[in-house]
Amino acid sequence: KILILDFGSQVTQLIARRVREAHVYCEIHPCDVSDDFVRSFGAKGIILSGSHASVYEESTDRAPGAVFELGVPVLGICYGMQTMAQQLGGKVEGGHKREFGYAEVRAHGHTRLLDGIEDLRTPEGHGMLKVWMSHGDKVTELPAGFKLMASTPSCPIAGMADETRRFYAVQFHPEVTHTLQGDKLLRRFVLDICGTQPDWVMKDHIAEAVEAIRAQVGNEEVILGLSGGVDSSVAAALIHRAIGDQLTCVFVDHGLLRLDEGKQVMDMFVGKLHAKVVHVDASEQFLGKLAGVSDPEAKRKIIGREFVEVFQAEAKKLTNAKWLAQGTIYPDVIESGGAKSKKAVTIKSHHNVGGLPETLGLKLLEPLRDLFKDEVRELGVALGLPPEMVYRHPFPGPGLGVRILGEIKRDYADLLRRADAIFIEELRNTRDEKTGKTWYELTSQAFTVFLPVKSVGVMGDGRTYDYVVALRAVQTTDFMTADWAELPYSLLKRVSGRIINEVRGINRVTYDVSSKPPATIEWE
Ligand code: XMP
């Protein structure tokens, strides 16, 4: 396995991701772990990450001395290169112009790390790499034993190598996709130079995770809030695999779920997996509290608060429960500046079930916290969850509550559920000829929004005066920015025809053609 020491860069998780994609197991730990930790970890190689500090002098973080004494290969990236240079007797200078973004790096001589890896070749025969750089300071003097491996006009030492000790360092970021050959470079390091085997697969992970959960909870009981979403479902399936009936899932129906969602969750978890699930129909309570409230933030707060209340009431009935399980995944941990990456700057706080563990006095069980979303999905399938469930678009916690504009009424929710089910069904059933994929697969998130306005229509001989819905479908990789999807007109036509004909009460369908930014994905 590979040890990644985190100096706080926002992209440290991408290093882990690239290593895992090479099927090599790795873990990220803070850069200030002890020498003993480093010695006993059993790493076949160590990677030192970049830092969030833009200037070297802002940070006093150094790698534990043991890193350079173990005799295993070390790769320093960005700040990791600077600290390696400093700690091994080279020189780093600050106060330089900040270099940020795309750069072309020239490779020097033959090094095991870069040999044969290049994007283009200059007329003079130099191999060039197209990379992404972000740094203020730079190494100005190589430590003893190192040779120059790469350079740019403004950063004469952009890479260095000590092939005897197998220490390598690059000033650019191989973990981001803008560095075209970054993937190859990291594979070269972990597979060829560190000599790891590409044998980390999901089934090993299940066995390891099951053992870990059993060891952690012993014979105590666990509760889990099942939402029907991917993360809580996979967490539930995994924990159930480990401890069976010691797990109780609580599924709170707030009346703002999609069509038949409650039934699907119960069929899967009770029918197929034989898990213990408490199904709470709290729709009266939620819709009652939401009556007359139209401000989006106020609605969100009420839904969040009621959720905690209902869940807590159920949890109190399970007097033996000592653990609260959550489907927290790795990006959540990073986003909230969580335990593993103490150094990362907090972007936004993230709660799956806000505030629950503190008020319940339960211990937290988070078996997915080292996994990326696609790994969670792979795990779900390996655990026997249906792919349709595991590859579902994300669905917000407040559910249809943020898709019914303004005041929420049960009638509105019922109309919206039926219209939305038609839209999703058509997306799943319509394939794009070029790619052979369904439009559900080709979009990142798609849903219907209920607009509480009425417009005039005509049906048969009669005049109608009914509600309007908007269809929303977006494509995005990170949900921070998104484009509206160019769905085929024929598909939109079929969806609109079906909704207007099949859902009495809706007589007009519109398509949302706004990107994010400046619009958001949801309407509230
Ligand atoms: P926006 O609307 O901000 O949405 O562009 C970005 C992504 O976040 C989801 N979202 C939420 N998820 N609770 C959630 O669990 C929420 O309150 C919430 N609001 C938005 C949204 O569905 C989209 O995927």
Q: Are 468 and 451 in contact (CB under 8 A)?
A: yes
Compute the C-alpha angle 433/439/443, nearest 5°: 130
Q: Are 247 and 224 in contact (CB under 8 A)?
A: yes
Going through 295-409 in order, the beta strands assigned E by DSSP cover 321-325, 363-365
Is residue 173 flagged as an active site residue? Answer: yes
Residue 139 assigned as binding residue: no
Compute the C-alpha angle 13/19/22, nearest 5°: 145
Which atom, in ligand 1's list, is nearest to the CA of 524?
2
Residue 227 assigned as binding residue: yes
CA distance 282 to 232: 19
Return the H-helix or E-strand segment holding 490: helix 489-502
Our answer on whether the CB atom of 516 is closer than 6 Å to any ligand 1 atom is: yes
Neighbours of 397 (CB within 10 A): 18
Our answer on whether the CB atom of 303 is closer than 6 Å to any ligand 1 atom is: no
Our answer on whether the CB atom of 522 is closer than 6 Å to any ligand 1 atom is: yes
DSSP states along 406-457: SS--HHHHHHHHHHHHHHHHHHHH-B-TTT--BHHHH-SEEEEEEEEEEEEE
Two structure tokens written together for 87: 């700690």
For residue 523, report the distance from its CA to the centre of ligand 1, in Å: 10
Our answer on whether the CB atom of 445 is closer than 6 Å to any ligand 1 atom is: yes
Check the CA dihedral 256-262-263-268 and report its sign.
positive
Which atom, in ligand 1's list, is nearest to the CA of 304?
17
DSSP state at residue 143: P
Give the mutation target among 522, 523, 524 for probing the ligand 1 site: most ligand atoms within 8 A of CB.
522
ipTM summary value: 0.97
Residue nearest to atom 4 of ligand 1 (CA): 521
Distance of CA 22 to the CA centre of its chain: 18
Give the mutation target among 521, 523, 524 for probing the ligand 1 site: most ligand atoms within 8 A of CB.
521
Our answer on whether the CB atom of 227 is closer than 6 Å to any ligand 1 atom is: no
For residue 21, report the distance from its CA to the centre of ligand 1, in Å: 27
Structural domains of the chain ordered from first start: 2-193 (3.40.50.880), 202-390 (3.40.50.620), 409-511 (3.30.300.10)
Is residue 175 flagged as an active site residue? Answer: yes
Q: Are 152 and 158 in contact (CB under 8 A)?
A: yes
Residue nearest to atom 24 of ligand 1 (CA): 394
The residue assigned the tokens 């401000």 is: 295
For residue 524, report the distance from its CA to the centre of ligand 1, in Å: 9
Is residue 78 flagged as an active site residue? Answer: yes
Tell me the pTM: 0.75
List of residues 6+ apart from 518 with CB closer than 8 A: none
CA distance 129 to 131: 6
Q: Are 515 and 439 in contact (CB under 8 A)?
A: no
Residue 38 assigned as binding residue: no
Our answer on whether the CB atom of 481 is closer than 6 Å to any ligand 1 atom is: no
Residue nearest to atom 18 of ligand 1 (CA): 396
Our answer on whether the CB atom of 479 is closer than 6 Å to any ligand 1 atom is: yes
For residue 520, report the distance from its CA to the centre of ligand 1, in Å: 9
Our answer on whether the CB atom of 230 is closer than 6 Å to any ligand 1 atom is: no
Q: What is the mean pLDDT of each run of 10 residues along the chain (524 residues)?
A: 91 88 90 96 96 66 96 96 95 76 90 94 90 86 97 92 97 91 96 94 87 96 93 97 97 96 95 96 97 96 92 91 91 58 39 57 90 90 94 93 97 98 98 97 97 94 95 91 96 98 97 95 96
